[in-house]
């Protein structure tokens, strides 16, 4: 029987793959944002008739702040959405409630590669297990004498060749390997893998608090914090990594993962790369040169910048001034007929602003959404031809 996790935090991937979570956990938790991410009608119907109880739990601001600070140190913060941060924070919160803060790390571990063998020159010739030929060249006369004393027996060689041919006939078939085939012994494991079941080791005891996710960024943060991870279909990271930002224009690096523009040259050319520390204490950057650099926003020329209170210009530098998108004074004005300064004869009805530029653009009072961020001005729209 597969061991069960006592408290399991579930990500969206478990509901998308229709994983039977009641077989791997006793108590299931998630956040409301995970349920809101499910848009398919089939998956929504499954959520209505779940064969287990799914508990929606709120996350403390302290847990979110702790997870956010740790993901900034590992370099996974740009790859995590707000829902991912809440899933991580809920796992951290449950671990703190059930097991305490013992075992949870506050600083990520730095990968350090150490050579297991010293590749120095070996001067001694008497090394156990190795044959080191001597540098002395044998005399030619001794070699010719040894060759002259050799006897050639043709009949013995023919018999040996016939025996070798007979052995090759029997051994010509390759050995059978049942690891890649579905047999009665591994049919249960194959069904569990095809159905998207979570992987738990039967030898080791199950963790008390764990998180089920197939997102590699979430797994990297969980493993470095010391929290348990449950995966689906073998989608588990092999080793933890630390990431930094590298500019492919000036080749400078920065550990500030919330940066969009390069602190050195000011261009929007930052790319996330993995970094390790070698045995000498130097940072080694691992760059994936097979992955091409995206050309989004670089193919078409930028539109001409416009001024005004409601301009819509692309952001090309870090210290660019942007409009505040304030509504007009008429829209902000309010009439209160009960106030002492109210003048009789003025209409007590509220005046609605419909003619100003702010009203035409949809800038409403109290709105915090920056409307210049909603669309990409560098995107070319295909226009229809008039018939």
322-381, pLDDT tens digit by residue? 887 777 777 666 666 676 666 555 555 656 677 777 777 777 666 554 544 555 555 666
For the whole model, what pTM was predicted? 0.61
85 compared with 143, residue with greater pLDDT: 85
* Predicted confidence (pLDDT) at residue 203 exceeds the cutoff of 60: no
Q: Taking a C-beta distance cutoff of 8 angstroms, is the pair 95, 59 a contact? A: no
Query: How does residue 262 score in pLDDT terms, banded at 50, 70 and 90?
Result: very high
Phi, psi (deg, nearest 5) at residue 56 = -90, 125
Q: Taking a C-beta distance cutoff of 8 angstroms, is the pair 30, 56 a contact? A: yes
249 compared with 373, residue with greater pLDDT: 249
Q: Does 262 carry a binding-site annotation?
A: yes
Q: Does 265 carry a binding-site annotation?
A: yes
303 compared with 156, residue with greater pLDDT: 303
Query: How does residue 246 score in pLDDT terms, banded at 50, 70 and 90?
Result: very high
Which pLDDT score, from 0 to 100, does residue 18 have? 82
Among 146-160, 189-203, 243-257, which range has the highest average pLDDT?
243-257
Phi, psi (deg, nearest 5) at residue 284 = -115, 120
Q: Does 250 carry a binding-site annotation?
A: yes
| Cα-Cα end-to-end distance for the chain | 69
> How many helices, marked H, and strands, marked E, lie in the chain?
11, 10
Q: Taking a C-beta distance cutoff of 8 angstroms, is the pair 13, 213 a contact? A: yes
Tokens of 125: 């010739």
Across the range 258-277, mean pLDDT stands at 90
Query: How does residue 185 score in pLDDT terms, banded at 50, 70 and 90?
Result: confident
């Amino acid at each position: 029987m597969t061991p069960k996790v006592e408290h399991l935090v579930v990500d969206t991937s478990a509901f998308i793959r229709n994983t039977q979570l009641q077989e791997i956990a006793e108590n299931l938790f998630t956040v409301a944002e995970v349920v809101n991410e499910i848009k398919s009608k089939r998956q929504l119907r499954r959520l209505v008739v779940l064969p287990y109880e799914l508990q929606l739990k709120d996350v403390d601001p302290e847990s979110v702040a702790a997870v956010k600070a740790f993901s900034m140190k590992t370099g996974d913060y740009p790859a995590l959405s707000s829902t991912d941060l809440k899933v991580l924070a809920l796992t951290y919160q449950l671990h703190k409630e059930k097991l305490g803060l013992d075992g949870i790390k506050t600083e990520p571990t730095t990968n350090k590669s150490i050579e297991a063998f010293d590749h120095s020159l070996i001067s001694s010739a008497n090394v156990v297990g190795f044959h080191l030929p001597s540098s002395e060249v044998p005399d030619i006369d001794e070699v010719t004498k040894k060759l002259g004393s050799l006897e050639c027996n043709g009949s013995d060689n023919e018999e040996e060749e016939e025996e070798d041919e007979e052995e090759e006939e029997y051994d010509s078939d390759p050995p059978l390997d049942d690891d890649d085939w579905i047999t009665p012994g591994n049919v249960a494991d194959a069904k569990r893998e095809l159905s998207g079941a979570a992987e738990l080791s039967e030898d080791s005891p199950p963790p008390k608090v764990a998180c089920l996710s197939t997102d590699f960024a979430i797994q990297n943060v969980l493993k470095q914090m010391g929290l348990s991870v449950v995966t689906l279909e073998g989608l588990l990271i092999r080793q933890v990594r630390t990431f930094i930002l590298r500019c492919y224009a000036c080749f400078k690096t920065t550990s500030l993962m919330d940066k969009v523009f390069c602190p050195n040259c000011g261009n929007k050319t930052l790319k996330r790369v993995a970094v390790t520390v070698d045995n000498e204490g130097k940072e080694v950057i691992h760059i994936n040169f097979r992955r091409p650099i995206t050309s989004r926003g670089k193919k078409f020329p930028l539109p001409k910048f416009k001024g005004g209170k409601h301009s819509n210009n692309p952001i090309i530098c870090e210290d660019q001034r942007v409009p505040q998108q304030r509504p007009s004074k008429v829209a902000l004005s309010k009439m209160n007929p009960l106030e002492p300064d109210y003048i009789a004869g003025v209409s007590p009805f509220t005046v609605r602003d419909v003619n100003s530029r702010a009203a035409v653009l949809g800038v409403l009072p109290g709105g915090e959404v920056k409307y210049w961020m909603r669309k990409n001005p560098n995107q070319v729209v295909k226009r229809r031809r008039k018939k």
